[in-house]
Structure 1
Amino acid sequence: MIVVVSAFDETEAASAVLARSPQWAPEDAAVLRHHLLLPAESISRAAELLEQDDWRLRPDPGDGSVPFGAEPAAGEQALFAERVQKLDALHCSQESSRMAGLAQRLHGRAVGWVALQSGPG
């Protein structure tokens, strides 16, 4: 899996993000990965809420292999919320808003998102 779309500027429309990616294959499913920074005490609640819609919450490996988009503040944990789905601008935008709202309610931050698809070959 390779990153085919990357969105860390909340002012950029999802349609523009998708349009600028030469690697994105719109007909194929992708792993949509939202980057979240949450306080440790909010992680289990976030996982519970996300699992209701088939999202998986997991920690950033922290080894620098995945650019995260922001540095955690004191007390924040870097996490990925991931789900397999087909990408389109409407759903990417809706999910970004949802993640921002979830993070805010849990006293954290939504940093941005990436989409991963199988590489060539």
Structure 2
Amino acid sequence: MSDDPNTGGRGRDVNGRPIEPGRWRRLRDRLSGGGTEAVLEVGEPGLIVVAACDDDAVASSTVLDGADWRPEDEVVVRHLLRLPVARVADAVAMAGLDGYVRYEGADIVDSADTEGRADTEGRADTEGRADTEGRADTEGRADTEGRADTEGRADTDDSADTVTVVLARVQRLDALHLSQERSRMASLGSRHGGIAVGWQVLQRPSPAR
């Protein structure tokens, strides 16, 4: 799915909303003879991942501070959610209210599958270690030990009728707004019986590359 065709060559703000270029910028471009840079699109070929994380405990600022990205330029932000197939359409529609579209490009397939497998295998390894530590029945006693929510989300994530959904949009980015969107996506996933499993930030290659 492509970007909103109604942006009319406009950029995006930190909330993904189209913005009009400033009057000074229009005048500068006209006097310098410079053309308007092509509008960044969610499915644009050649984008590179400049920051990514699949650990919800890691702060957005930590990841971005250590990333090689250009804060002054627009980015494509992708959020990966694991959702029940029957709830995907509703979740995508709700995310669309905030400018997100479902991205199904071939370049995300392996990454999404890896995220899903890593989550599943990570839980399996944790449960395996729990067994060796004398807690063999931890999973079976999850409800009575106060881990019902965690195990419930694991069941949702690992079940055969779930799928990894990638929601993406073009926007300006900073750590604060990325954190807000991560929280929003976690809530969206939870409301639709799933979980958020990671995020990615993509940009065009630097001219210096």
TM-score normalized by structure 1? 0.90
Between the aligned partners of 1:12 and 1:85, the Cα distance in structure 2 is 22
Q: Which has the higher helix share?
A: 2
Higher RCO structure (Cα 8 Å, ≥6 apart): 1
- Percent identity over the alignment is 38
Match of 1:41 among 73, 82, 86: 86
Partner of 2:206: 120
Q: Which amino acid in the other structure matches residue 84 of structure 1?
A: V
Task: Show CA shifts across 1:71-115 (max 9, x none).
Answer: 362211111000101110111000000000010110011001010
Q: 1:114 to 1:30 in 2, by over 3 A?
A: same
Between the aligned partners of 1:77 and 1:60, the Cα distance in structure 2 is 15
Larger CA Rg, structure 1 vs 2: 2
Between the aligned partners of 1:119 and 1:42, the Cα distance in structure 2 is 35
Q: Which amino acid in the other structure matches residue 8 of structure 1?
A: D
Structure 2 residue ranges without an equivalent (≥5): 1-46, 118-156
Between the aligned partners of 1:63 and 1:108, the Cα distance in structure 2 is 18
Report 1:5-84 matches (<5 A).
5-21=51-67, 23-59=68-104, 61=106, 63-64=109-110, 66=111, 68-71=114-117, 73=158, 74-84=160-170
Q: Which amino acid in the other structure matches residue 94 of structure 1?
A: Q
Partner of 2:190: 104
Between the aligned partners of 1:63 and 1:11, the Cα distance in structure 2 is 24
Q: Which has the higher strand share?
A: 1
Q: How many residues align?
A: 119
Q: Which amino acid in the other structure matches residue 57 of structure 1?
A: R
Whether 1:86 and 2:132 are equivalent positions in the alignment is no
